[in-house]
Amino acid sequence: MPKITYAPAEELIVHDIIEVTKDDLLRERVTPAGTIPLMWCNGILFSFSSLPMTDDVTKDYLKGKLHWLEVHFARMDRYIPVLPLSEEEYKASISVRIIDTSTSELHREFVKWLKSNVNAKTKT
């Protein structure tokens, strides 16, 4: 019988964070092939991109360190499973699926950190 080990991330390193409007965040997820879902956790709608899996990034990953190259986020108080985006350019309304990731400990901790750090920046 195989041994199964759960090894959650020990550290998340975020290299850039950008607050955008909800519509801009939705526009980012529209591709020629369709739309890419966004994540929602505890009042924050967001997406992230990861660093390429170079040797150094892979070594960090195996040590429990995740790298998010860039996070784009918008505030959205309540979870909505699908958000419409009306775009004149496409002459249609496009729907973007939203995934509720509030059960993820990593996402909950990130959002808690994000809220306290972004709020601190805007108050100074």
Answer yes or no: is 1 within a domain.
no
Query: Phi and psi at residue 80, in whole multiples of 5°?
Result: -130, 125
- pLDDT in the model for residue 121: 54
Model confidence pLDDT, tens digit, residues 5-23: 999 999 999 999 999 999 9
Answer yes or no: is 95 within a domain.
yes
Give the residue numbers spanning the domain of 18.
Answer: 11-123
The pTM of this model reads: 0.86
Of 115, 118, 95, 94, nearest in space to 41 by CA: 115
Domains identified in the chain, total number: 1
Provide the pairing of β-strand 92-100 with 82-87: antiparallel
Judged by average pLDDT, the poorest of 29-33, 48-52, 62-66 is: 29-33
Answer yes or no: is 113 within a domain.
yes
> What does the alpha-carbon distance between residue 70 and residue 55 come to, in Å, rounded to a whole number?
20
Of 103, 116, 104, 118, nearest in space to 71 by CA: 118
Provide the pLDDT confidence category of residue 32 given band limits of 50, 70 and 90. confident
User: Is a pLDDT exceeding 80 seen at residue 112?
Assistant: yes
Comparison of pLDDT for 118 and 61, the residue scoring more? 61
Answer yes or no: is 65 within a domain.
yes
User: Is a pLDDT exceeding 70 seen at residue 69?
Assistant: yes
Q: What is the mean pLDDT of residues 88-112?
A: 89
> What does the alpha-carbon distance between residue 86 and residue 23 come to, in Å, rounded to a whole number?
9
CA distances from 44 to 59, 79, 103, 118 (A): 30, 9, 14, 12
Q: What is the mean pLDDT of residues 87-113?
A: 89
Proportion of the chain above pLDDT 70, given as a percent: 91
Answer yes or no: is 5 within a domain.
no
